[in-house]
Amino acid sequence: MKNFYFIVDWPTSIKPFYVKPKSTGTECESFDLMYRNLELSSGSTRIQNKHELIERMKKQGLNTEAFDFHLKVFDYGMPPHAGFGLGLERLMMSMCNVDNIRDVVLFPRDIDRLSP
């Protein structure tokens, strides 16, 4: 277990628009779970306030009209929520102690194999 660690306190400026900033405003509520030098998972608390979300979108130069369908949900109220993504193949790499992801992918792709 000594090879697993979390990276936290990410700068808000390099994270997606939906990641919730901390009260400082310069860091956000997000993490990366690492195994040695391999990222296994990323996650964050999400912004639940529509106006705050729109402000973050504008700061990142996004067209808010392109996200109307997503933003309409916030008109009905949004509870506090979070999410994460786990790289299954990367987890398998760490569990099996292999260096190449193709060794743990069911249908690896390369120049000679572009479809399963």
pLDDT in tens, 91-102: 999 889 999 888
**Could you give the domains of the chain?**
4-103 (3.30.930.10)
Residue 116 confidence (pLDDT): 62
Residue 102 confidence (pLDDT): 86
- 3-state SS, residue 64: helix
pTM, entire model:
0.78
Chain-centroid distance of CA 84 in Å reads 6
How far apart, in whole angstroms, are the C-alpha atoms of residue 79 and residue 73?
A: 11
Say if residue 57's pLDDT is above 80.
Answer: yes
- Give the ranges where the chain is alpha helix by DSSP (H): 50-59, 68-72, 88-96
